Structure 1
Amino acid sequence: MQQLSGLDAAFLYLETGQMPMHIGSLAIYDQSTAPGGKVGFKDILRFYQQRLHTARAFRRRAVHVPLEFDHPYWIEDPEFNLEYHIRHIALPKPGDWRQLCIQTARLHARPLDSSKPLWEAWVIEGLDNVAGVPPGSFAVVSKFHHAAVDGVSAAEIASAFHGLTPEVEPGDAVPDWQPEGHPTRMGLLGRSAVRSIRQPLDMAKFALRNIPAAARVGKGVVTGDFGLQLKVPRTRFNDNVSAHRVFDGRSFPLDKIRAMKNAVPGATVNDVVVSICGGALRRYLLEKNELPEESLVAMAPVSARPDSQRGAEGNQVTTMSLPVGSDFAAPLERLAAVTEASRRAKKLTATIGPSLAADAAQFLPSMTTGLLARAYGRSGLARRLPLFYNLIITNVPGAQQPLYSMGSRMVAIYGLGPVAHGLGLFQPVVSYNGKVMISAVSCREIMPDPSFYCQCLDDSYAATAAATSVV
């Protein structure tokens, strides 16, 4: 039995029917490369069964302390059933990209069952008319609760399910797995009492440890070293979200984006991607006569996982505040502005340190955090309180060579993530095999036209390519 960290537990506390807190992906596979040219559902179950030991998240579930006196615990689920977690469906006709996006959004909208290990994989057949996808391909929509994994640990789990050749390896020797019994209420309360005695000392240590960083941040804010955009404009993306999700995505050539960054000294691939998103947001809001004068600001999660903890699960992440340059009409000026903003944001993040958010989350009041989150949604405070961010943009680098799972070549992979009241647009970015795939996840009321937004992404990419002389 292992207790969740404060940051991991926060994702359980914040979850409501309108705000499921899972991340995931839509991966498309060409099964013609598999042995025999076909992958059956039983083959998929067997493949997963042989790899369950690669991540504890597959077979452990959360157990809550009575009355939420303390953060929950993970236990190895004695009732684990693989066939509950892996489902098999077919895409409605005509089996095109639009239908795949609609089906992905519906699956992503459903909260995970908190009485079971917090993950699902949906195998989708019938991709008969998805442009650019080989005939007979299938998709897998994966869902992992954010309490169990972050973007980096999810990518590490995925790597255990993929290889560099179509040959299906039998998997490593599977170690013995021991389920755990459900802990007693008194046992959980006893653990909570012990931790509550230690907490004042832990809080004092936390405060002393972070005084130097706080002083450095204060000095940097006063001197303007961080260039913080103090006014974050209110947009349609900063309303309450509903339980209905929308999804769409686009794929762009990585070599072209790498070439674009050379137009601005110091620019990175991520700066170009953020600039393209900024241009798309500008076009989208202009079309609706809603473009604010100030740039929209993205929350950009950054992994704080040290190399010594590669393979560990849970969340080890900090965030950057990053203006996306939506206040610039010219793509080259936008890219230059994003590059400078990114440089300053990285400086601020380095000054704060990688573990502040995770350390502070240890002291979240477990009894009231969930109540406050639900009250926040019901009260409509998202429409009235000052904003820190308008949207989320996260970037997960992937392998730059073809990968295979169950013998099937992965054709494309798009990220999925949660939206929340006041933060209603999530844009995960994944690079894989020479492509950069940008997704848009929102709710139906905030973004009723995700395909139009993705057209704005296409237009912004084309404008940036033209401005940087990339053909």
Structure 2
Amino acid sequence: MDESKFIQIWVFEPGEAGQEPIGRDELVEWMTARLDRSRVFTEIVEFRSPLAYPVWRTAEHVDVADHIRYLDLDGAGWDGFTAELARIVAAPMDLSRPLWELHAITGVRDVPGIPDDALYIVIKFQHAIGDGVEAVGISRRLFDAPDADVEKPEPEYVPPGLVRQVAAVPGQVVNMLRAARRTKEAVAELDALTASGEIPPAPAAVPNRFNSPASGGAVVVDVARRSLDAAQAARRTVPGVTVNDFALAVVSGAMREYLRHHGELGDDPVVVASPMSLVPLAERRRNPEQASNQFGMILVDLHVQEPDPRVRLEKIAESTAQGKRRSRSAPAMIATTALDDYPWWMARRVVAATHHAVEAGTGISANAMITNVPRGSSDLTFFGRRSLEAFNLSSVHSGFAMSITSLGSELSISFTANAAAMPDPQRFRRALEDSFDALVSALGSTDPDRPTVPVG
């Protein structure tokens, strides 16, 4: 199974004066009462056959206490907290039980904008549970958000017996060959449309220090925190620019500075892969259920060679628009969904070969993965405590992963990287903060009350 994980961090306000701290037994009782909020909490992934895709099965027993960790960092600062997050990210998950963990962390001190007695709740999911939007939905149900969605139960799929699975192999091979042929034809059509100028070309990534795979090495994490209101005000000064474009421009400035510091800022493009909806906004509004999960991966050139923040933002917005046009084209859709028609035994080999190519540095399509998942309003509660902030972390096989998150009026940009690729994560975090400030300034907007995190 893929090693990718979602880690969500929710920060809740301190308890009232004189209130007893939340104990581990209370956490277990609280979580036990909420197991029905999502099937993820009570189901396991079962590999019943090498010929059939794994299936979800309800666990006979869930030992809630075994999924919960309680840790007091005893006055540790931000760097101590991120070190603990790195350990949580790197730790493998036990595939024989439901794929979630809940970590309650206290004792984090001296973080500007966050009270010393705040409670940090870290929820860790394996990527098999769904995408980032689904992970956020699960957490909002868990924390009693008034607008939380209601999970729709899915019928349990029972694969056919082994005899029928073996008998189905010839048909699976035929479907796979047909999908491969469709893909070949789609790629040829895409190349022709690109050559004629009807569809923009995809940017070509060149391996750099960010492409060290996250597996097999020490992991580092950190988070830059800024005002979403400031980002909104700044991006509105450029017609057509979205918050996501703005955040990508912030990332671009940070990567530019980080590569420059290490003497590696050359002429090669820096490309990020970003999952985005392939359905136009108007269609998503007309048919939200049908369009809600139609996502694809677009490639965006960050134009790190451009020194002017405003010009770089405009170029990134154009690159993002081109990526959407290319990804939404019919041949691109056919090519990117071909694996859906592959049987499990072959799909697994394709994924393994892709991972091997990434590790060997011969098969990269991007230098980093960036996700953007809004958390919505901040009206969540935990033992009567209101939520203050939230951010995501992602761990992916390909190495450098970033997550753009918003909760209420807070914008955070977090990252996970291999320590060998990024031995100085605090420098990159400061580069993100400086890039945000420079971009806001270049666009003629200011935010004097923006929150910051301590410099390590």
TM-score (norm 1): 0.82
Structural mapping, 1:4-153, within 5 Å: 12=1, 15=2, 20-32=3-15, 38-66=21-49, 68-91=50-73, 93-153=74-134
What's the offset of the Cα at 1:365? 5.5
Supply the AA of the counterpart residue of 2:310.
Answer: L
The SS at the match of 2:129 is: coil
What's the offset of the Cα at 1:132? 2.2
Q: Given the alignment of the two structures, is residue 463 of structure 1 paired with residue 438 of structure 2, yes or no?
A: yes
1:300 aligns to what? Answer: 274
2:408 aligns to what? Answer: 433
CA distance in structure 2 between the aligned counterparts of 1:77 and 1:194, rounded to whole angstroms: 30
Structural mapping, 1:5-404, within 5 Å: 12=1, 15=2, 20-32=3-15, 38-66=21-49, 68-91=50-73, 93-163=74-144, 188-190=161-163, 192-193=165-166, 195-200=168-173, 202-203=175-176, 217-241=190-214, 242-303=216-277, 307-308=288-289, 317-352=295-330, 356=334, 359-364=337-342, 366-367=344-345, 382-404=359-381
Identity percentage of aligned residues: 25
CA distance in structure 2 between the aligned counterparts of 1:139 and 1:296, rounded to whole angstroms: 34
CA distance in structure 2 between the aligned counterparts of 1:287 and 1:128, rounded to whole angstroms: 30
The number of residues matched between the two structures is 436
1:4 aligns to what? Answer: none
The SS at the match of 1:417 is: strand
Contact kept? 1:271, 1:339, Cα under 8 Å: yes
What's the offset of the Cα at 1:226? 3.8
What's the offset of the Cα at 1:203? 4.2
Contact kept? 2:105, 2:120, Cα under 8 Å: yes
Deviations 1:96-142 (A, max 9, x none): 11111000000110111011111111111222333322132221221
CA distance in structure 2 between the aligned counterparts of 1:34 and 1:149, rounded to whole angstroms: 40
1:60 to 1:39, Cα distance in 2 relative to 1, 3 A: same
1:466 to 1:448, Cα distance in 2 relative to 1, 3 A: same
Contact kept? 1:88, 1:124, Cα under 8 Å: yes
1:205 to 1:240, Cα distance in 2 relative to 1, 3 A: closer
What's the offset of the Cα at 1:84? 1.3
CA distance in structure 2 between the aligned counterparts of 1:72 and 1:197, rounded to whole angstroms: 20
Contact kept? 1:216, 1:351, Cα under 8 Å: no
CA distance in structure 2 between the aligned counterparts of 1:347 and 1:326, rounded to whole angstroms: 22
1:29 to 1:266, Cα distance in 2 relative to 1, 3 A: same
CA distance in structure 1 between the aligned counterparts of 2:145 and 2:359, rounded to whole angstroms: 46
Supply the AA of the counterpart residue of 2:377.
Answer: Q
1:303 to 1:75, Cα distance in 2 relative to 1, 3 A: farther
1:272 to 1:375, Cα distance in 2 relative to 1, 3 A: closer
What's the offset of the Cα at 1:227? 3.0
Contact kept? 1:127, 1:137, Cα under 8 Å: yes
1:414 aligns to what? Answer: 391
- Give ranges in structure 2 of 5+ residues lacking alignment: 280-286, 447-456
- Give ranges in structure 1 of 5+ residues lacking alignment: 1-11, 166-171
CA distance in structure 1 between the aligned counterparts of 2:7 and 2:434, rounded to whole angstroms: 27
Supply the AA of the counterpart residue of 2:115.
Answer: P
The SS at the match of 1:320 is: strand
The SS at the match of 1:389 is: coil
CA distance in structure 2 between the aligned counterparts of 1:193 and 1:236, rounded to whole angstroms: 45
What's the offset of the Cα at 1:326? 1.1
Contact kept? 1:150, 1:316, Cα under 8 Å: no
CA distance in structure 1 between the aligned counterparts of 2:333 and 2:128, rounded to whole angstroms: 17
What's the offset of the Cα at 1:333? 0.9
CA distance in structure 1 between the aligned counterparts of 2:156 and 2:340, rounded to whole angstroms: 27
CA distance in structure 2 between the aligned counterparts of 1:376 and 1:208, rounded to whole angstroms: 20
1:226 to 1:94, Cα distance in 2 relative to 1, 3 A: farther
Contact kept? 2:326, 2:332, Cα under 8 Å: no
TM-score (norm 2): 0.84
How large is the Cα RMSD of the aligned pairs? Answer: 3.5
What's the offset of the Cα at 1:253? 0.7
Contact kept? 2:234, 2:443, Cα under 8 Å: yes
What's the offset of the Cα at 1:339? 0.6
Deviations 1:242-289 (A, max 9, x none): 332111001111111112212322111110000010000000000000
CA distance in structure 1 between the aligned counterparts of 2:39 and 2:331, rounded to whole angstroms: 28
Supply the AA of the counterpart residue of 1:228.
Answer: P
What's the offset of the Cα at 1:210? 7.4
What's the offset of the Cα at 1:395? 0.3
Supply the AA of the counterpart residue of 2:193.
Answer: G
1:130 to 1:436, Cα distance in 2 relative to 1, 3 A: same
Contact kept? 2:269, 2:301, Cα under 8 Å: yes
CA distance in structure 2 between the aligned counterparts of 1:56 and 1:310, rounded to whole angstroms: 22
What's the offset of the Cα at 1:74? 1.4
The SS at the match of 2:388 is: strand
What's the offset of the Cα at 1:197? 5.0
What's the offset of the Cα at 1:41? 2.9
Deviations 1:27-52 (A, max 9, x none): 22114269957533333323322222
Deviations 1:394-452 (A, max 9, x none): 100121344323322222212111232xx321011111111111001111111111111
CA distance in structure 1 between the aligned counterparts of 2:117 and 2:265, rounded to whole angstroms: 43
The SS at the match of 2:108 is: coil
Q: Which segment is superposed worse, 210-219 or 446-455?
A: 210-219
Contact kept? 1:402, 1:409, Cα under 8 Å: yes
Deviations 1:272-308 (A, max 9, x none): 0000100000000000001131331111012469732
CA distance in structure 2 between the aligned counterparts of 1:113 and 1:297, rounded to whole angstroms: 33
1:65 to 1:57, Cα distance in 2 relative to 1, 3 A: same
